[in-house]
Amino acid sequence: MSREQRGPNEKLGAVLALAGISNAGLARRVNDLGAQRGLTLRYDKTSVARWVSKGMVPQGAAPHLIAAAIGQKLGRPVPLHEIGLADADPAPEVGLAFPRDVGQAVRSATELYRLDLAGRRAGSGGIWQSLAGSFAVSAYATPASRWLITPADSSVARDVGPGEGSGAPLKVGHSDVQKLREAAEDARRWDSKYGGGDWRSSMVPECLRVEAAPLLLGSYSDEVGRALFGASAELTRLAGWMAFDTGQQEAAQRYYIQALRLARAAADVPLGGYVLASMSLQATYRGFGDEGVDLAQAALERNRGLATARTMSFFRLVEARAHARAGDAQAAGGALKAAESWLERARPGDNDPSWLGFYSYDRFCADAAECYRDLKAPRQVRRFTEQALSKPTEEFVRSHGLRLVVSAVAELESGNLDAACEQGVRAVEVAGRISSARTTEYVKDLLHRLEPYGDEPRVVELRERARPLLMAPA
């Protein structure tokens, strides 16, 4: 359905011309983005012509899908007002700001927490459905540069006077912060074992809204405030990571930006680096290798002389992943060597942050294997996956499933079809036990690589075993 404006929408027409998108092309892109969110849209070139020449405003998620489709072509976010659709049902650009002022940072984060809950209660994906496909790697540029320039705020003390909030002002103490840290630790464990889509993991946004937001809006000293911002940053990064794992890239991006801003308020430079590393992994996963390198190097630059050896190793490993996706074998190899060297310097007594508990030599080998997969070096992939798979645990189930798929790809590229299918069957079994869109995408990629061998009995068997996984609702 649509409603009519007064006169043509010249803004939309101008931006379409700038992007070089035809009416038919825009209709196709909007329909495709809608399909990614379970929407059945049937727009065509006539629909777009009405939007432009008659000023018709499509209803529901369509205006935001139009903005997302044009933004993908331009390589940057496109706000609704730029395309003359600002009076459509609002989906605010919440979570994309990186405010300089601490008070504004609190408002930006808590607004995002509230929006997520509204989306969940609305059903069918809520606000995130409206923002379908609106991930834009360029949105990370300002947060990264501001964090590099000033990685810590001068003071975060907050004194809420009577009448400034609802009810009596909340006085925040260290015990309140500890509860958030315990929630983050529980969430990390569930996420690794069951995937970002598991119902226990999905409670993180609820915790942010119900627990973290009231604390951030309360009164606290500078010391307590730093700890509060740090714990909130950890939880917010986790919410982003879980959204990333379930394919909600637009939500993940907003959580990551707010997590980085909270880490700056906490004056926790290693944690800020960890958020940037998460941003880098997302950018790399989405195919933006060069931008992934920039984000990983931003994490490294501010942490020289501050982070532990194990932390620096992880940052260099993330950099290697981005170099490999960008096709730079020499840079990827150098970053991997540096990551391994840092890891060898790590000692049990080092004061490693709790959020780095997942990182071990096995994890290094797993990511090194993915680097060499992207660089099309199957012998190296096999060497590292053998080490990565040598100690499977029930603690990191999703990671084990991803490693099995990478191993299957290496076997296939080495000409070992039977071994590839064997590893693929094991990967499908693991993927069926967790809720992770990312793992499912890895399995889909493997099946795509096996298409030339579609009539082989083992390939047919693997495809049949994977069918329930691929048909499961997103």
CATH no. for residue 7?
A: 1.10.260
Lowest mean pLDDT across 68-82, 113-127, 137-151, 202-216: 113-127
What would the mean pLDDT of 35-59 be, rounded to a whole number?
83
For residue 338, is pLDDT > 60? yes
- 102 SS3 class: helix
What was the pLDDT predicted at 6? 60
Q: Is residue 433 part of a domain?
A: yes
Single residue among 83, 108, 132 that ends a domain in this structure: 83
Residues 6+ apart with CB under 8 A from 466: 424, 428, 443, 447
What was the pLDDT predicted at 269? 97
Q: Could you tell me which of 454, 465, 384 has the C-alpha nearest to residue 431?
A: 465
For residue 201, is pLDDT > 90? no
Higher pLDDT pick, 3 / 249: 249
What was the pLDDT predicted at 432? 86
Q: Could you tell me which of 176, 251, 236, 170 has the C-alpha nearest to residue 205?
A: 236
For residue 200, is pLDDT > 70? no
Measured CA angle at 270 (ends 265, 274), to 5 deg: 95
Number of domains forming the structure of the chain: 3
What was the pLDDT predicted at 313? 98
Q: Answer yes or no: do 118 and 66 share one domain.
A: no
Contact in structure between 415 and 424 (CB atoms under 8 Å): no
Q: Is residue 318 part of a domain?
A: no
Number of neighbouring beta carbons within 10 Å of residue 133:
21
What would the mean pLDDT of 348-360 be, rounded to a whole number?
92
Mean pLDDT score across all residues of the chain:
87
Largest pairwise CA distance in the chain: 73
Rounded distance, CA 398 to CA 12, Å?
Answer: 43
Q: Answer yes or no: do 126 and 14 share one domain.
A: no
Single residue among 63, 83, 103 that ends a domain in this structure: 83
What was the pLDDT predicted at 234? 97
Rounded distance, CA 254 to CA 259, Å?
Answer: 9
Work out the pLDDT band at 319, boundaries 50, 70, 90.
Answer: very high
For residue 334, is pLDDT > 90? yes
For residue 303, is pLDDT > 50? yes
Residues 6+ apart with CB under 8 A from 313: 339, 340, 341, 342, 343, 346, 359, 364
What was the pLDDT predicted at 421? 95
Higher pLDDT pick, 126 / 374: 374
What would the mean pLDDT of 231-246 be, rounded to a whole number?
94
Q: What is the C-alpha R_g of the chain? A: 23
Q: Is residue 132 part of a domain?
A: yes
What would the mean pLDDT of 184-210 be, rounded to a whole number?
78
Q: Answer yes or no: do 112 and 257 share one domain.
A: yes
Q: Answer yes or no: do 57 and 187 share one domain.
A: no
Residues 6+ apart with CB under 8 A from 149: none
Q: Supply the range of the domain harboring residue 391.
A: 360-474
Number of neighbouring beta carbons within 10 Å of residue 415:
9
What was the pLDDT predicted at 32? 83
Q: Answer yes or no: do 259 and 138 share one domain.
A: yes
Q: Answer yes or no: do 464 and 399 share one domain.
A: yes
For residue 3, is pLDDT > 70? no
Q: Answer yes or no: do 55 and 188 share one domain.
A: no
Q: Is residue 198 part of a domain?
A: yes
Residue 453: both structure tokens together: 């061998």
Lowest mean pLDDT across 86-95, 184-193, 202-211, 293-302: 86-95
Single residue among 208, 233, 267 that ends a domain in this structure: 267
Work out the pLDDT band at 117, boundaries 50, 70, 90.
Answer: very low
What would the mean pLDDT of 456-468 be, rounded to a whole number?
93
Q: Is residue 320 part of a domain?
A: no
Work out the pLDDT band at 182, boundaries 50, 70, 90.
Answer: very high
Q: Answer yes or no: do 142 and 30 share one domain.
A: no
What was the pLDDT predicted at 388? 87
How would DSSP label each residue in 340-376?
A: HHHHHH--TTS---GGGTT-SHHHHHHHHHHHHHHTT
Q: Is residue 312 part of a domain?
A: no
Q: Which helix (H) or strand (E) holds 36?
A: helix 23-36
What would the mean pLDDT of 175-185 be, rounded to a whole number?
94
Q: Answer yes or no: do 42 and 121 share one domain.
A: no
What would the mean pLDDT of 297-313 be, rounded to a whole number?
96
Q: Answer yes or no: do 379 and 444 share one domain.
A: yes
Which phi and psi (to 5°) does residue 279 adopt? -60, -40
Q: Answer yes or no: do 34 and 125 share one domain.
A: no
Q: Residue 406 maps to which CATH number?
A: 1.25.40
Q: Tokens 């903005």 label which residue? A: 67
β-sheet bridge partners, residue 158: 220
For residue 178, is pLDDT > 90? yes
What was the pLDDT predicted at 4? 52
What was the pLDDT predicted at 469? 85
Q: Answer yes or no: do 44 and 133 share one domain.
A: no
Higher pLDDT pick, 134 / 94: 94
Q: Is residue 319 part of a domain?
A: no
Percent of the chain with pLDDT over 90: 61
Q: Which of 127-131, 209-213, 257-261, 388-392 is most confident?
A: 257-261
What was the pLDDT predicted at 327? 96
Work out the pLDDT band at 73, boundaries 50, 70, 90.
Answer: confident
Residue 33: both structure tokens together: 């983005």
Cα atoms in the 13 Å half-sphere on the side-chain side of 402: 23
Higher pLDDT pick, 435 / 131: 435
For residue 369, is pLDDT > 60? yes
Work out the pLDDT band at 124, boundaries 50, 70, 90.
Answer: very low
Higher pLDDT pick, 30 / 226: 226
The model's pLDDT over 5-21, given as tens digits with 9 standing for 90+, comes to 568 898 999 999 999 99
Q: Is residue 199 part of a domain?
A: yes
Q: Which helix (H) or strand (E) holds 58?
A: strand 56-58
Cβ-in-10-Å burial (0-12, 13-18, 19+) of 28 comes to middle
What was the pLDDT predicted at 396? 81
For residue 244, is pLDDT > 60? yes
What was the pLDDT predicted at 39? 65
Residue 46: left if φ>0, alpha if ψ -120 to 50, beta else—which one? Answer: alpha
